[in-house]
Amino acid sequence: MPVDITIPSPGESITDVSVGAWLKSSGEWVEKDEPLVEIESDKAALEVPAPESGVLTITAEQGEEMNVGDVIGTIDPEPPEGRPEERAETEEKPPPRGRSEQPAKKTDEIATRVEVATATASGAGDGGENASGGRVTPLARKIAAEKGVDLDTVRGTGPSGRITKSDVIAAAPGSGTAAAAGGAPHDGDESTLPAVSEQTVSAPEDGGAADLPVSMRGTRREKLSRLRLRLAERLVAAQRTAAMLTTFNEADMSEVIRLRKRHKDTFLEKHGVGLGFMSFFVKAAVSALKQFPGVNSYIIDNEIEYHDYQDISIAVGTPRGLVVPVLRNAELMSFAAIEAKIKDLASRAQNGRLSIEEMTGGTFTISNGGIYGSLMSTPILNPPQSGILGMHKIMKRAVEDPNNPGELVLRPMMYLALSYDHRVVDGEQAVRFLVHIKECIENPERMLLEV
């Protein structure tokens, strides 16, 4: 009996999600607990594992909006044709013998159509049963009914000739794929290849740029993920509701660079993790937040909520969008613990494996645009927090030598930016907070002595 694949709850208060990319195909054999599909909420993305081993049938396509508990597919532990011993059936069939390779300079469109024509040729005259004798996925049957496609005329490309959604779409009237596949099988002779459109944009008569294919001026649209939509809402809300200002300063990174260079090998050997800049800034932020608790607070209704702990959010860029995993009780963490935790969180963020709990509850945020080359920026508050520190690219600049007033020296400098909510933090506090960060970075021993 088929087992339903349902949408799990990504976290408290989340009731609806979007279906992300399917990691397996309909008709494919999957093992229990094997990742099947990604689902996206407004806070995070997570993978849904297979509840049982068997043949997968997909009933919800990528991009569909679903509620927690909805069925998005099934797994049949005992398919009619028995458990497959090999997965080779899901791979592409090799081209027929005698097909000569096309020259490398053929256009992508020719290559694509050759593959379609080859797939048609590989199925012609082989004596196999027609589409009506094969199985049809529920989604393929539904689409066939909607598009008026006769399933008896469709040849399945799935395992054991199973007809899939893509087979029905290819066979639908007006489908470009169907038109391309309709030609007779070719034997490698270029004259039998489907014709390729060469529509171009004519060059101006006055000797302007050469003709360009129309395809080079194409456009495309992609639906925003729930994560990006939620991120956009939060950032716009922060600008609309908070009295956000930004103050700037710069820090001489010479001492931090000297310490890293001197101790990085021993640090790595002892702790198994590299010594980066972020641990210094987390420690500096913890020290500054203790001195200026208003930067470590929230506005909730008509009250200010102060925090006696420092939960530092670290902004991490991922293909899905910006996420901010949290270092809980950063004030209790050593340099090694900070580096190890950041490495773990950043790695899992890139793979979409962070939980909702790991991305909520921070009291202050640090964002490092310098890793992308940013020299200066104005970071946006992460609501309901009242402060965010922006790090930037280290550049050697001419500055006055603190040991020899009046003389210029080249020093590795970093611009620092603190955006803050002026409803909670006064300008004086913000400036002094950032100066405290600067002093901690330029004199790292202050963080060890907690002064």
Q: Is 426 in the active site?
A: yes
HSE-up of residue 43 (Cα within 13 Å, Cβ side)? 17
Complete DSSP assignment for 162-186: -B-HHHHHHHSTT-HHHHHHTSPP-
Integer angstrom CA distances of residue 228 from 9, 22, 97, 232, 399: 19, 19, 48, 6, 41
Strands (E), 200-334: 200-201, 212-213, 244-252, 298-300, 303-305, 312-314, 316-318, 321-323, 326-327
Residue of 42, 167, 426, 436 with catalytic role? 426
Residue of 263, 344, 401, 422 with catalytic role? 422
- Which residues does residue 38 pair with via DSSP β-bridges, in sequence order? 47
Strands (E), 190-265: 200-201, 212-213, 244-252
User: 234-259 burial string, b = 16+ CB within 10 Å, else e?
Assistant: beeebeeebebebbeebbbbeebeee
Distance, in Å, from the CA atom of 312 to the CA atom of 333, rounded to the nearest integer, reads 11
Q: Give catalytic residue positions.
A: 422, 426
